[in-house]
């Protein structure tokens, strides 16, 4: 560079980096080329020194004047070039007061942006909590929480709209921004920030109130994966147990059917809580677990159950045969009763032989059906038929036993009726002593049935002596009823004294 200056371009002075447009075009100073020739503003070519200046001497004088003026002009421009950071680029630079207002507005904008970000982050986190609660809990409290969050969401939308409107309304980087506009921008942004902060505080208080619901929901969610896994394991164990039973030669078709019904439930478990809900999935997992464990337990018991049914079949067949033998001896017992005692003593036993034979026959039929069910491995049917056969045999056995017991008791009372009389009187006297213990007179509600019992004994004895063919069976049943009355009075007295 011939004179220590950089080449001048259309954008400004090459050595300073400040566009001419930022400072205005220099007045009265032409553009020079490397030879010191002045150029006009149009760039059309050189203007000769002889034009208006009178030759070469005038051209040299003009160059000296330009050389003297340039340092002064550049020195005046330097403070403006470095004002506001010395950067270039089209901004109009204010004095100290205006730049302070712009900086305050920018700080308010940054603070509002931070508050907006905090509110948005808190809302996103709370939305996850609300979704967790609504997925697990359908109670009234959970529904109110969802409604409350929706209302807060509308409030957040309002304050967010106010903030965004304030930001869009003021371009703080605009060249023409004045101090008054910057002040208004600051006020609006500070109000927007205050609303954002206040709404964030409301959101925080609302979140604190959700703690019990959220804890309960998280507890259920924590149960979800283990519950589903337990259900799956139970199904696998049930399938393994069923395979083992079949390998042992048992069909176990009913268990296979029950296990197959759990297949669709397993499919729904695999689809997950996202599709079916947490509560429903937990209930389904519990149901699958319970049913699968029942199938497994029954499958493991199949061999034991088969052995038990076989044992019961043998036992009941033996008992049926023994009953048939005993039923054949009922008729001789009835003949002796008819010959020695009044008709009232044996009339209710007249049909015992026929009833015993019928019950025994029906029991044999049920046993045959049970044996067939056992062969077909219909375990529930076999068990039910065996229970029916046992009940029939019990009925027949009671009838056969009743005939022999009746004959024995009638023989005893006919030989010595006094023994039965003394047993009844002893029971009444024992109850009377207890009623009088610690009292001068007994309670009427205790004394009355005991006094009546004494009279009933006397009447029973008198009836026995007055008849030629006594009804010993009526005599025995009456004395037995008297003993029961005395026992009832004794129990009543002891309960009352125990409460006192």
26 or 189: which leads in pLDDT: 189
Q: What are phi and psi of 19, to 5 degrees?
A: -65, 145
Query: Looking at residues 376-383, what average pLDDT do you find?
Result: 89
Residue 494 has pLDDT above 80, yes or no: yes
Interacting residues of 440 by C-beta distance below 8 A, sequence separation 6+: none
Q: What are phi and psi of 44, to 5 degrees?
A: -90, -5
In angstroms, what CA-CA distances link 292 with 259, 264, 270, 278? Answer: 7, 13, 16, 21
Counting other chains too, the contacts that 85-89 makes at CB distance below 8 Å and 24 or more residues apart are 88/17, 88/18, 88/19, 88/22
The least confident of 16-30, 276-290, 383-397, 398-412 is: 16-30
Q: What is the pLDDT of residue 174?
A: 76
Q: What is the pLDDT of residue 386?
A: 95
The answer to whether the CB of 393 falls within 8 A of the CB of 460 is no
Closest CA to 449 of 489, 408, 395: 489
Which residue is associated with the tokens 């083992």?
244
500 or 112: which leads in pLDDT: 112
Distance between CA atoms of residues 419 and 429, nearest Å: 15
What percent of the chain is modeled with pLDDT above 70?
Answer: 80
Q: What is the pLDDT of residue 200?
A: 94
The answer to whether the CB of 294 falls within 8 A of the CB of 231 is no
Question: Using 50, 70 and 90 to split pLDDT, how confident is the model at 98?
Answer: low
Token output for 489: 């009075």
Question: Using 50, 70 and 90 to split pLDDT, how confident is the model at 278?
Answer: confident
Q: Give the CA dihedral 486, 492, 496, 499, nearest 10 degrees.
A: 130
245 or 135: which leads in pLDDT: 245
Q: Which residues pair with 19 in a beta bridge?
A: 12
Query: Looking at residues 17-30, what average pLDDT do you find?
Result: 33
The answer to whether the CB of 282 falls within 8 A of the CB of 269 is no
Q: What is the pLDDT of residue 249?
A: 87
The least confident of 40-54, 173-187, 376-390, 397-411 is: 40-54
Query: Looking at residues 62-88, what average pLDDT do you find?
Result: 37
Distance between CA atoms of residues 260 and 271, nearest Å: 18
Question: What's the whole-number average pLDDT of the chain?
Answer: 79
Question: Using 50, 70 and 90 to split pLDDT, how confident is the model at 24?
Answer: very low
The answer to whether the CB of 335 falls within 8 A of the CB of 376 is no
pLDDT in tens, 119-136: 999 999 999 888 888 877
Q: What is the pLDDT of residue 308?
A: 93
Q: What is the pLDDT of residue 254?
A: 85
Residue 2 has pLDDT above 50, yes or no: no
Closest CA to 53 of 66, 68, 41: 66
Q: What are phi and psi of 39, to 5 degrees?
A: -115, 145
Residue 76 has pLDDT above 50, yes or no: no
Distance between CA atoms of residues 108 and 26, nearest Å: 40
Q: What is the pLDDT of residue 124?
A: 93
First vs last C-alpha separation in the chain = 130
Question: Using 50, 70 and 90 to split pLDDT, how confident is the model at 157?
Answer: very high
The C-alpha angle with vertex 123 and arms to 119 and 126, in degrees rounded to 5, equals: 140
Q: Which residues pair with 129 in a beta bridge?
A: none
Token output for 339: 């010959």
Residue 93 has pLDDT above 70, yes or no: no
Burial track 360-370 (b if 16+ CB lie within 10 A, e otherwise): bebbbebbebb
The answer to whether the CB of 331 falls within 8 A of the CB of 353 is yes
Q: What are phi and psi of 9, to 5 degrees?
A: -115, 175
Counting other chains too, the contacts that 88-92 makes at CB distance below 8 Å and 24 or more residues apart are 88/17, 88/18, 88/19, 88/22, 90/21, 90/22, 90/175, 91/175, 92/175, 92/176
Query: Looking at residues 112-125, what average pLDDT do you find?
Result: 94
pLDDT in tens, 26-71: 333 333 343 333 334 333 333 333 333 333 333 323 333 433 333 3
Neighbours of 376 (CB within 10 A): 12
Token output for 71: 């340092």
């Amino acid at each position: 560079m011939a004179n220590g200056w950089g080449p001048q371009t259309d954008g400004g002075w090459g050595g300073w980096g400040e566009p001419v447009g930022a400072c205005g075009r220099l007045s009265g100073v032409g553009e020079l080329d490397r030879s010191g020739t002045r150029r006009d503003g149009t760039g059309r070519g050189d203007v000769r020194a002889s034009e208006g200046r009178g030759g070469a001497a005038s051209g040299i004088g003009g160059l000296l004047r330009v050389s003297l003026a340039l340092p002064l002009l550049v020195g005046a421009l330097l403070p403006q070039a470095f004002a506001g950071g010395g950067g270039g680029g089209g901004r109009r630079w204010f004095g100290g007061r205006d730049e302070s207002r712009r900086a305050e507005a920018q700080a308010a904008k940054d603070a509002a942006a931070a508050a907006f970000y905090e509110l948005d982050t808190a809302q996103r986190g709370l939305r996850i909590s609300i979704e967790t609660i609504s997925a697990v809990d359908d109670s009234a409290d959970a529904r109110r929480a969802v409604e409350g969050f929706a209302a807060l969401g509308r409030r957040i939308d309002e304050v967010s709209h106010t903030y965004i409107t304030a930001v869009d309304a003021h371009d703080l980087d605009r060249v023409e921004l004045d101090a008054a506009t910057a002040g208004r921008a600051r006020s609006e942004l500070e109000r927007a920030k205050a609303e954002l902060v206040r709404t964030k505080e409301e959101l925080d208080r609302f979140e604190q109130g959700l703690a019990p619901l959220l804890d309960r929901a998280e507890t259920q969610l924590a149960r979800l994966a283990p519950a589903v896994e337990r259900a799956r394991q139970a199904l696998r164990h049930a399938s393994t147990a069923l395979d083992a039973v079949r390998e042992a030669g048992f069909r176990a078709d009913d268990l296979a059917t029950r296990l197959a019904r759990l297949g669709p439930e397993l499919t729904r478990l695999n689809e997950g809580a996202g599709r079916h809900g947490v509560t429903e999935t937990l209930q389904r997992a519990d149901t699958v677990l319970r049913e699968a464990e029942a199938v497994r337990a029954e499958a493991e018991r199949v061999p034991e159950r088969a052995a038990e049914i076989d044992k019961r079949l043998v036992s009941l067949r033996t008992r049926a045969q023994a009953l048939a033998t005993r039923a054949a001896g009922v008729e001789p017992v009835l003949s002796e009763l008819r010959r020695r005692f009044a008709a009232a003593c044996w009339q209710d036993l007249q049909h015992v032989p026929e009833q015993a034979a019928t019950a025994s026959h029906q029991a044999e039929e049920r046993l045959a059906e049970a044996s067939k069910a056992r062969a077909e491995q219909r375990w529930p049917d076999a068990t039910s038929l065996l229970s029916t056969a046992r009940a029939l045999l019990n009925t027949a056995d009671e009838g056969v036993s009743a005939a022999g017991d009746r004959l024995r008791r009638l023989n005893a009372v006919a030989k010595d009726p006094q023994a039965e009389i003394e047993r009844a009187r002893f029971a009444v006297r024992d109850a009377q002593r207890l009623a009088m213990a610690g009292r001068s007179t007994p309670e009427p509600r205790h004394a009355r049935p005991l006094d009546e019992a004494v009279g009933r004994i006397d009447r029973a004895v008198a009836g026995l002596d007055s008849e030629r063919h006594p009804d010993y069976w009526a005599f025995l049943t009456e004395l037995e009823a008297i003993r029961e009355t005395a026992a009832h009075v004794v129990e009543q007295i002891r309960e009352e004294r125990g409460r006192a």
